[in-house]
Amino acid sequence: MKHSLPLPVVAPGRRPMMRALMVGVALLIAGCASFKGIAPTGQTVAEVRIPVPAAVPDASGQWPAQDWWKAYDDPQLNRLMDHALESSPTLATARSRLARAQSAIDLTRSGSGPQISGNANASYGRLTANGIIPPPPLGPGGTYVTQDAATVNFGYDIDLWGKNEALIRSADAQLQAATHDRDAARLALTTSIARAYAQLASDYELRDLLESTRTQRGSISKLTQLRVKNGLDTQVESKQAEGTEAALGVDLAQLATSMEVTRLQIAQLTGDMPDAAAQITRPALHPQPFTIPQDLPLGLLARRPEVAARRARIEATVGEAAAARAQFYPDINLTALIGFQSIGLGQLLSAGSLVNGIGPAITLPIFDAGRLRANYAGKTADIDTAIAQYNQSVVDAAQDVAEQLTRVAALGREQAAVTQALSASEEAYRLATLRYKAGLSTNLTVLTVQTQVLAQRRAAADLNMRRTSLQIGLIRALGGGFVVPDSASSATPTAKRAESPLASAAGTNDVSRPLQKTTELNK
């Protein structure tokens, strides 16, 4: 909106003088608004390329859902997640920062609107007898009087150069960034809980394996003692069997400690005290297949909350730079007042005490020793910094996904090798046990083969755990159900958003477009 003030009537003889004055003011404006040569130079990443290994499942899946953990069909995990999202101090901190950003927007908006205030004061004292008020009998000069005033004051920043609007746009972008930071904290929290929960499930599986192995070794130990009694073996074989059985007891004790620590970690992540760890029972996770979205490179950046936050901060720095540039131009404020002023309280509300006034107040920077230019240069440097941080987040996101896909591809090859090795070792153990019972081999052979079986079973359990952990890591790399809202930039004023270096992607999920140079910060 353009604002204009009524022009005074100028006498014909003074018109050349007024024209000269206006030319002089225009020259001052042109000379003061010297931000030439200051502009951002950064460019955002234009394209995301992610190689997908051949061993990765077909890219026919969907992006993770926001409540992705429910696919594991574990009621206890669902309860833990719900409790964490409600009670976690980490998310509470993110929510408080979001509220702080919202209050910053409200504060910035309030400064761009009309300001109306009331003022009332009364004072008692002696007036000078040598001022504009004459002494008695013509006036109260030199006497003690009460001076009173009651006025309503009005102020409005006309904002011809868009400074306030740019600050509002910057505050809106900071709010978007805080919102995305909350989403990033949510994703980090839920994936951390899921990984710890998967580790607990793996520990339970390993405990079953160790218990089964200890039972088998107990049977071997009894058989060895019987053979020693019958003179078929010596005490050496008997002590070997007892030693290996005791070693399994040590492994089980260490595993029990590890499980307790994992429970404590889960309780801490969900915002509970350590005593809540005892209530966490055995997980019942149902394995899920790996799924890779079809539009992985195209849609990745719109589904990573930290990338979206970095992009919003570019918009925030662009708004701050635009506001800094507007400071080179005259600042015009419209002020007005109306009220009563009097000497003596009894006449304060009389018609003769009425006062009012209205007029513009113009502030023009003429010489500031380079302060405005330095400030503007710093704000444009902030834009380049924000762009560099955004680009780094894009690179990190692409690398994260590529790393997870590489591990997923390798997991398939490991699965085949571990399955084959486990099958072979179990068959060898079966045959060694039969030969030992028949007296055709020693106890040492059986224990050696059984140790190999235990190692392969542990490898299989570890592989299952890594599979779940990789799946959770891939979900995190794909954003865990986060999507940049279509209205993410809707709060930004349309007229100014079109001038932003990021305007080409505003309000869309395509956050990978390059930074476009515009006349707003490069004129």
Closest CA to 208 of 473, 478, 503, 461: 461
The span from the CA of 29 to the CA of 332, in Å, is 13
Band of residue 59 on the pLDDT scale cut at 50, 70, 90: low
Q: Which residues contact 380 (CB under 8 A, 6 or more apart)?
A: 38, 39, 40, 321, 521
pLDDT attached to residue 70: 92
Q: In the chain, which segments carry CATH 1.20.1600.10?
A: 25-112+162-329+392-522
Q: How far is CA 260 from CA 80, 195, 197, 305, 465, in A?
A: 17, 15, 12, 33, 18
Between 339 and 511, name the one with better pLDDT: 339
Question: What number of other Cβ atoms are within 10 A of residue 138's Cβ?
Answer: 8
pLDDT attached to residue 266: 94
Which backbone phi and psi does 294 adopt, to 5 degrees? -70, -40
Asked if 369 and 191 count as a contact pair (C-beta separation under 8 A), the reply is: no
Asked if 149 and 341 count as a contact pair (C-beta separation under 8 A), the reply is: yes
Q: How crowded is the C-beta side of 296, counted as CA atoms within 13 Å?
A: 23
Structure tokens at 201: 């499930």
pLDDT exceeds cutoff 70 at 302: yes
pLDDT attached to residue 507: 32
Sign of the CA dihedral with 55 first, then 56, 59, and 60 last: positive
pLDDT exceeds cutoff 50 at 6: no
Band of residue 32 on the pLDDT scale cut at 50, 70, 90: low
Ramachandran sector of residue 136 (left: φ over 0; alpha: ψ -120 to 50; beta: rest): beta
Least confident of 71-85, 160-174, 266-280, 363-377: 363-377
Closest CA to 301 of 505, 62, 71: 505
Span 10-18, average pLDDT: 48
Sign of the CA dihedral with 133 first, then 135, 141, and 145 last: negative
pLDDT attached to residue 10: 39
pLDDT exceeds cutoff 60 at 494: no
Q: pTM score, two decimals?
A: 0.73
Between 269 and 235, name the one with better pLDDT: 269
Asked if 302 and 509 count as a contact pair (C-beta separation under 8 A), the reply is: yes
pLDDT exceeds cutoff 70 at 375: yes
Question: What number of other Cβ atoms are within 10 A of residue 190's Cβ?
Answer: 26
Band of residue 365 on the pLDDT scale cut at 50, 70, 90: confident
Closest CA to 262 of 407, 469, 13: 469
Helix (H) or strand (E) holding 331: strand 331-343
The span from the CA of 507 to the CA of 517, in Å, is 19
Question: What number of other Cβ atoms are within 10 A of residue 386's Cβ?
Answer: 23
The span from the CA of 451 to the CA of 244, in Å, is 9
Please tell us whether the domain made up of 25-112+162-329+392-522 is placed in CATH 1.20.1600.10: yes
Band of residue 187 on the pLDDT scale cut at 50, 70, 90: very high
pLDDT digits (tens, 9 = 90+) for 191-215: 999 999 999 999 998 898 888 878 7
Q: In the chain, which segments carry CATH 2.20.200.10?
A: 115-158+331-364
Name the one residue in this structure whose structure tokens are 């908006």.
109
Instruction: Provide CATH code, domain 115-158+331-364.
Output: 2.20.200.10
Question: What number of other Cβ atoms are within 10 A of residue 287's Cβ?
Answer: 9
Task: Write the DSSP symbol of residue 6.
Answer: P
Name the one residue in this structure whose structure tokens are 């592989």.
463
pLDDT attached to residue 216: 73
Structure tokens at 475: 């979900």
Least confident of 141-155, 421-435, 493-507: 493-507
Name the one residue in this structure whose structure tokens are 């405005």.
372
Give the number of residues written for the chain.
523
pLDDT digits (tens, 9 = 90+) for 428-469: 888 888 887 887 777 667 777 877 888 888 888 888 888 888
Q: What percent of the chain has pLDDT over 90?
A: 21
